[in-house]
């Protein structure tokens, strides 16, 4: 049970030791701070489970209310509802938790300075009009499609929830087989392989978070590491570890590629002290000299879509990813759905940054990111960074013989 990855991460430009070192020294500490700022700490999401694929699954029609939402008094001033379009009476969480019964209708003010342009790689909660596409129950759908909530991500960490069995398996199967060809098949072209690796890397990261924050003893409500799960689901498969590192580098590349854009973006939440801190942390991360010296190009996207089939292939993979993004609405556990949606949206944002604009010189003029996309992107990077750190530490522990599986 050893994580002994050496050399360069396949399809990437930096080696494992460098990634572990940079992550530990620079990326992980900055990201941990960054995700606690008010700008990055609240995610706007539609938590209703509007699954278009398995309409017979009735559990997936209502909210299960396991996600603790923000009471209105908590989220930053500039996020507050500007105008209510729906009365909160219709929107009560079905379990009737009073703290979840607040209607958080969107606020146009919060999105000042940010685009609402659709991402061609994902289904977006707010901008897509799903009614015409998948009518399951037109009444429910019309009402619920409009409801977005703000979630305090710090209060809802991704961890063990007990979600498994056929529902979870069905999602992973759909994500891998329906949407993304199996790997390794020799005839797979590089681009398809990369989509597979991104999903597998995310899957590894989710498993690592389950293992690192596990309900060890239900009776005493004791939480802690579950190293068996860590080993049996991730560490014993070199490819899963490798794909985690790959996904981390891929997303890191997207973030640094968009550095200029992200540096100039609007991080206003109405709290000048906090917002300055957000901006300063972003700058530290985007222009860290150690990162630039040791791993200036974490992933080289210019190598892709080169062949004659390039444009056609890109469209195909875009459609595949869009499906993966839609499948996230079918995840039958609310907290898993929250993090599934956030992280897939983060990956979609990375894909958009890396592949929507060919001309790097003009990236800042052409690129348009939604506020929520940037929140998803940075929170995803933080999650991957946590997973890489945990895998590295567990690997090191195993090498020193301190750990037995
Ligand atoms: P699963 O993790 O369900 O894996 C299914 C199959 O996929 C495996 O048998 C294997 O063949 C393959 N596989 C596994 N890992 C990889 C990989 N890295 N790369 C390639 N193939 C792989 N549970 C929680 O407790 N908390 C959560 O926050 C959470 N979030 C989730 C989010 C999503 C989007 C989904 C779909 C599920 C989530 N789950 C969560 C459930 C969790 O991921 C597992 O499905 C569940 O714990 C059962 O695990 P398992 O051992 O059966 O294997």
Cα distance between residue 177 and residue 151, in whole Å:
31
- Dist. CA 172 → ligand 1 center (Å): 7
Amino acid 134: pLDDT: 30
Length of the chain equals: 405
The answer to whether 36 and 272 are in contact (CB under 8 A) is: no
Whole-angstrom Cα distance, residue 112 to residue 254?
23
Say if residue 232 is exposed, middle or buried (CB neighbours under 10 Å; 0-12, 13-18, 19+).
Answer: middle
Question: What number is the ipTM of this complex?
Answer: 0.99
Residues in the chain where the model's pLDDT stays below 70: 1-4, 55-66, 68-116, 126-147, 178-188, 398-405
From the CA of 53, how far away is ligand 1's center (Å)?
A: 19
What are the Cα distances from residue 222, in Å, to 11, 128, 216, 256, 349? 40, 41, 6, 39, 36
Residue with structure tokens 């990236």?
A: 363
Q: Which residues are catalytic?
A: 333, 336
Is 26 in contact with 291 (CB distance < 8 Å)? Answer: yes
* Per-residue model confidence (pLDDT) at position 74: 61
Contact 248, 5 (CB under 8 A): no
Residue 192 main-chain phi, psi, to 5 deg: -65, -35
Predicted pLDDT of residue 123: 81
**Mutation pick for ligand 1 pocket among 51, 179, 193, 206 (CB with most ligand atoms within 8 Å):** 206
Ligand 1 atom 51: the closest Cα is on which residue? 233
pLDDT at 245: 97
61 known ligand binder: no
Q: Is 182 exposed, middle or buried (0-12, 13-18, 19+ CB in 10 A)?
A: exposed
Residue 285 to residue 279: CA distance in whole angstroms: 10
The whole-number pLDDT of residue 145 equals 42
Nearest-atom number in ligand 1 for the CA of 203 is 18
Helix 190-212 vs helix 371-399: angle between axes, to the nearest 10 degrees?
A: 70
Q: What is the pLDDT of residue 8?
A: 87
Q: What is the pLDDT of residue 208?
A: 97
> Which residues surround ligand 1 with Cβ inside 6 Å?
158, 160-161, 163-164, 168-169, 171-172, 200, 203-204, 206-207, 210, 233, 240, 331, 335-336, 339-340
For residue 249, CA distances in Å to 123, 156, 296 come to: 24, 25, 11
Residue 193: its pLDDT value, please?
87
pLDDT at 138: 31
């Amino acid at each position: 049970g050893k994580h002994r990855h050496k050399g360069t991460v396949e399809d990437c430009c930096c080696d494992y030791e460098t990634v572990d070192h940079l992550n530990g020294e620079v990326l992980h500490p900055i990201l941990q701070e960054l995700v606690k700022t008010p700008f990055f700490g609240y995610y706007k999401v539609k938590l209703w489970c509007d699954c278009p694929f398995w309409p017979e699954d009735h559990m997936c029609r209502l909210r299960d209310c396991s996600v603790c939402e923000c009471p209105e008094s908590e989220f930053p001033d500039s996020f507050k509802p500007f105008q209510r379009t729906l009365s909160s009476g219709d929107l009560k969480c079905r379990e009737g938790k009073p703290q979840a019964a607040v209607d958080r209708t969107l606020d146009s003010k919060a999105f000042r300075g940010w685009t609402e342009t659709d991402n061609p790689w994902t289904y977006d909660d707010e901008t897509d009009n799903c009614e015409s596409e998948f009518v399951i129950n037109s009444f429910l759908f019309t009402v619920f499609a409009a409801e977005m909530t703000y979630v305090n991500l710090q209060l809802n960490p991704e961890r063990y929830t007990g979600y498994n069995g056929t529902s979870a398996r069905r999602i992973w199967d759909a994500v891998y087989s329906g949407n993304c060809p199996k790997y390794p098949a020799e005839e797979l072209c590089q681009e398809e392989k990369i989509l597979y690796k991104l999903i597998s890397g995310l899957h590894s990261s989710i498993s690592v978070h389950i293992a690192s924050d596990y309900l060890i003893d239900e009776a005493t409500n004791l939480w802690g590491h579950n190293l068996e799960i860590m080993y049996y689901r991730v560490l014993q498969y070199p490819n899963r570890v490798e794909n985690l590192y790959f996904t981390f580098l891929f997303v890191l590349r997207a973030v640094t590629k968009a550095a200029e854009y992200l540096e100039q973006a609007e991080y206003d939440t109405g709290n000048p002290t906090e917002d300055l801190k957000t901006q300063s942390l972003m700058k530290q991360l985007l222009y860290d000299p150690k990162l630039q010296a040791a791993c200036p190009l974490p992933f080289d996207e210019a190598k892709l879509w080169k062949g004659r089939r390039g444009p056609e292939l890109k469209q195909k993979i875009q459609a595949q990813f869009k499906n993966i993004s839609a499948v996230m609405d079918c995840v039958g556990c609310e907290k898993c759905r929250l993090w599934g949606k956030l992280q897939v949206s983060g990956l979609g944002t990375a894909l958009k940054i890396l592949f929507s604009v060919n001309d790097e010189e003009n990236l800042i003029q052409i690129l348009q990111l939604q506020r929520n996309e940037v929140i998803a992107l940075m929170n995803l990077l933080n999650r991957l960074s946590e997973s890489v750190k945990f895998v590295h530490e567990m690997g090191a522990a195993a090498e020193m013989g301190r750990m037995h599986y």
